[in-house]
Structure 1
Amino acid sequence: MHNKQTYCVILAGGEGNRFWPYSRKSMPKQFLDFFGLGETLLQMTYRRVSKSFSTERILVSTNINYVQIVQEQLPELPLENIIVEPCRRNTTATCALATLHLLSRDRDAKVCFAPSDHLVLDHDLFIKTMRQASAYIHENDNALLTIGIAPSRPDVGYGYIQVDGKGMPEDPLGHVFKAKTFTEKPKAEIARIFIESGEFFWNSGMLFATGTVLLQSLREYAPELMERLEGPDKESLAPYGTPDEDAHVAETYPYCPNVSIDYTVLEKAENVHVLVADFGWADLGTWGSVYEIGEKDARENMTLHASVLENESRRNLVVSDTPGRLVVMQGVEDLFIVEKDEVLLICKRGEEQKLKQLHLAAMSKGKEYV
């Protein structure tokens, strides 16, 4: 069943630095067949949302450097449904650009933003959630609706949304609550407290809204960004929807503040609601998240694309797509071992959040390493 009134914008402009060295600037994680299933993360996301949205209402927002990759991986996607970001400016700018673009096409547009690097195991429940979320913003068109995932563990790599727990039923799945606080990647002890309280849910990064309501919120909470990105005629939205749109975006987008929409809008707005769901969701944000959901052997070792010989080794993740390479482990525990082209990464489990800094340091060694 396709939703004929809501558009879905797949967010596919990131560089995936926390998955370095497997994810590279030239080919980020969303364009990789991570699990050897014959589909990239982007293709999996597109196929998943196409069960809820018709082809003409699915758009992909991506960096200008990745437009050709998107076209190659999604040949059925119309070129006009690719929103081109001239550079990386985080999700406030991405959502603002997509909203202006959509409203110039359809003043009654309602929109769902869906990250391209998520894994969903239960597609039927995902479709049900999409349908429920779309129906909610049609009935409550002033709401900004996020999807909160029922947490299964105190994961420090995820963001958390606290809801107003007054009158919360024993099973909150399928219910909508008013958002109270947003917390990004808490420490382990804090994450455990969150889980025990029953009021916190993982932030899926998915957002549903009526386009005009989201535009109004962006103008209120991100005025500097909108002042740059909008044209002089806010009523007609020109130059969006005109031949001058691309040139205007290329000129103004690089000067937009680089900040997440969670910080600019969702943490401040009073009309943010949370639909609680559980459809076997995982945000593939770090190697730790891959290890948590992946299939492991008797000693809890996990391998991806790799030929491995191990003895007395436990709780390791090994990733290597180098042909003919045999990875041998003796007596090692709790390591991430990732090989891609010229780079070999060895990292202790639990310290993968530090990879962003290492990625920056590697740039000084040579662009070929990142």
Structure 2
Amino acid sequence: MTKTVHIIAAARPNFMKVAPLYHALSADPDFTPVLIHTGQHYDPNMSDDIFRDLGLPAPDHHLGIGSGSHAEQTAGVMVAYEKIALAEQPDWLIVVGDVNPTAACAMVGGKLHIPVVHLEAGLRSRDRAMPEELNRLVTDVLADVLWTPSPDGDENLRAEGIPSERITRVGNIMMDSFEIIRPKLDAENSPAKLGVTPGEYGIVTLHRPSNVDTKASLTRVTEALEAAAERLTLIFPMHPRTKARAEEFGLLGRIEAAGIKVIPPLSYLPFMSLVKDAKVIITDSGGLQEETTYLGIPCLTLRDNTERPITIEQGTNRLVTPESLIGELDQALASDAPAPVRPEYWDGATAGRCVEDLKRRSA
């Protein structure tokens, strides 16, 4: 009998992670995937365009949660998703990543006795000041099956008492998404559209509260970016949250005056067309740490810690502060980018391993 699988998509990075899995499940006669969009990101560039780029259909359900406090988002998703789960009684529930809807739907699934799978399980920053870390901890405790991207994920879960039989290392599904769109990247040609030369620009993405939510922190970051902009052209697809704070603190004009190209958020295809030809990435994102490792592009991560240590141990990622950014940038610009060192199973075939594991566990 065909198994119904609910797949939860919430924030922008989730869309890229669920697409390969949705396609793989759709192609298997044993499963019927049902796509549920919680609506946490409602900017068209953060949802609708990405669905189109990755060949995803319109969601089967759209919860329309929108923005709000952590409590409002979590509660809203729980109330809305519980109604769907009760009505449809899926055989499996797959949650992705570490955003509020991830933990919210895992709690609903756990209480309704729906088997929960966590894709991208086991990541740890050891920093409970990050809301994402709390979501990871909650979700991994509740999940019946934990799909990890790398060996450190396996080790973290076992250290927390998770039985080995619940853990399967499947690899990094973000690489699957990149391979889906790879044939379209050259035709997209984002550098030409933005008037920059491949290999001669950097990209900035920032959105985390620790960098943008106070005037003091965003001022420190702005000063570092001003200095970086003296070394190479910077393109800054600015998250709505970051733009609102930059305007509030009177820093947006200063950023633009430094010659930094501030543009609206890009959907996945044009953004990755820009990323693949970048000289360096400056970010506080999680996913970009992985994608730059896959592509062999230096990544300077403006954070005190990372839940993806393999990107430092085997990849191109470095943790920086605003004060250390310029030194690290100069070092990155002075040397050729290292050849990509791809961790095991970061190979574009993760979705297939997920489906095989689900088939085994459904038997």
TM-score if structure 2 supplies the norm length? 0.34
Q: Which structure has greater strand proportion?
A: 1
TM-score if structure 1 supplies the norm length? 0.33
Q: Which one has a bigger Cα radius of gyration?
A: 1
Indicate the structure whose relative CO is greater, using CA pairs within 8 Å and at least 6 residues apart.
Answer: 1
